[in-house]
Structure 1
Amino acid sequence: MKKAILLLTILLGITSMAQQTNVKGAFLEKWNNSKEYLVAIAQAMPEDKYDFKPTKRQMSFKTQLIHIEGNMKWLGTTYFNLETVGEPEDLSDLSKEDLIIALQSRFDDIYNAVKAMDAGKFEEVVEFYAGPKSRLQILNLLQDHVTHHRGQLIVYLNMCNVDLPRYSGW
């Protein structure tokens, strides 16, 4: 029995390593980690502080989350075959819980679209407002955009004296 468990552990480790060495697998693993960390940050902020913003010219905590969700929707529908669902939704009236559910759903949409896409499609060059980009570059942009705004949200938590969730990006 111990040998079977050891063999299973080794096979799972090899499978995990194989996923990390291809574009799709590496992105999907990192995307799930990004989802987990952003959701933990969104949960950490008390709902009565969701309208907090450090200065008048900056977005509120809640508006940052809405912006992240909207960017994922735009890039997902434009470059990764998510269905377009008409005009952008107004998420500003959502409760903290419902906004977190919307974020989780959008992360899952991107995950599933990327998982279903043929790996060769990531090399395809697409039109982007900043010039032609490969879908791989769009994947990197998706992750980078979440990371950029999540970093701002960490500052907001610190300014509101809220304990930060443990980093889960590994």
Structure 2
Amino acid sequence: MRPLLLACTLAAISGTAFAADAPAPPLSKVFDSQVRQVESEIGSLAEAMPADKYDFAPTNGEFKTVRTFSLQMTHIATVIYEVSSAALGEKCPVATGKNENGDADIRGKDAVVKYLKGSFALAHRAANALTAANMMDMLQSPFGDGKTTRINLVSIIAWHSFDHYGQSVVYARMNKIVPPASR
């Protein structure tokens, strides 16, 4: 038993030593991995929700102004389009619509999923363009509140998306849909 314990301990220590010598990944890869996580969890949830539930919004309590599941998804995508294009110094390629919910014509599961996928592609471009040299560049905020750093714009992709993902998971569970990330 002791030789096995010693072997496991040495393996753990040597693995830690090798990991400590590994170079840190480029900033772009760190942020792109966050975009991949957003894409995986939100994209799979959008695919898992049945088309007939896309207009669902909670009704018990004070929910008069909450977004439907569809609007949660288009809002996530619209903000991703806005911050990604701003981080790239480009014009936003989509209409932001009322309350940043996207164009009113983007409705129905197929259209929403396509819109999300387009936003994820742009987010990957923005994340992969981030470097240690340009991360603190001051760029115009897409929200009309002056300038902000490129790294802040790219960070919004994850935190804003996961804020609305949490709400969307509740919508799915209220409809007896287990989010793919929880399976």
TM range (shorter): 0.7 to 0.9
- Give yes or no for the alignment of 1:108 onto 2:121: yes
Q: Distance in 1 between matches of 2:91 and 2:138?
A: 20
Q: Is the 8 A contact 2:49 2:172 kept in 1?
A: yes
- Give yes or no for the alignment of 1:79 onto 2:87: yes
How is 1:13-28 mapped onto 2 (pairs within 5 angstroms)? 18=23, 21-28=25-32
Q: Is the 8 A contact 1:125 1:134 kept in 2?
A: yes
Normalised by the size of structure 2, how large is the TM-score?
A: 0.72
Unaligned runs of at least 5 residues, structure 2 = 1-18, 97-101
- Give aligned-pair identity as a percent: 22
- Give the count of matched residue pairs: 154
| Residue 63 to residue 87, structure 1, CA distance change in 2 (3 Å) | closer
Structure number with greater CO (CA < 8 Å, separation at least 6) is 1
Q: Distance in 2 between matches of 1:102 and 1:137?
A: 23
Structure with greater proportional helix content: 1
Deviation at 1:78, TM superposition (A): 2.1
SS in 2 for 1:151: helix
SS in 2 for 1:126: strand
- Give yes or no for the alignment of 1:51 onto 2:55: yes
Which residue in the other structure is 2:162 paired with? 147
| Residue 167 to residue 83, structure 1, CA distance change in 2 (3 Å) | farther
Deviation at 1:95, TM superposition (A): 2.8
Q: Distance in 2 between matches of 1:86 and 1:48?
A: 25
If you compute each CA radius of gyration, which structure gives the higher value, 1 or 2? 2
Question: Among residues 18, 34, 37, which one is paired with 1:33 in the alignment?
Answer: 37
SS in 1 for 2:134: helix
Q: Is the 8 A contact 1:66 1:91 kept in 2?
A: no
| Residue 121 to residue 153, structure 1, CA distance change in 2 (3 Å) | same
Q: Distance in 1 between matches of 2:109 and 2:94?
A: 24
Deviation at 1:34, TM superposition (A): 1.1
Which residue in the other structure is 1:126 paired with? 139
Give me the CA root mean square deviation.
Answer: 2.7
C-alpha offsets along residues 41-69 of structure 1, whole Å, 9 cap, x if unaligned?
A: 11111110101111222100000111111
Normalised by the size of structure 1, how large is the TM-score?
A: 0.77
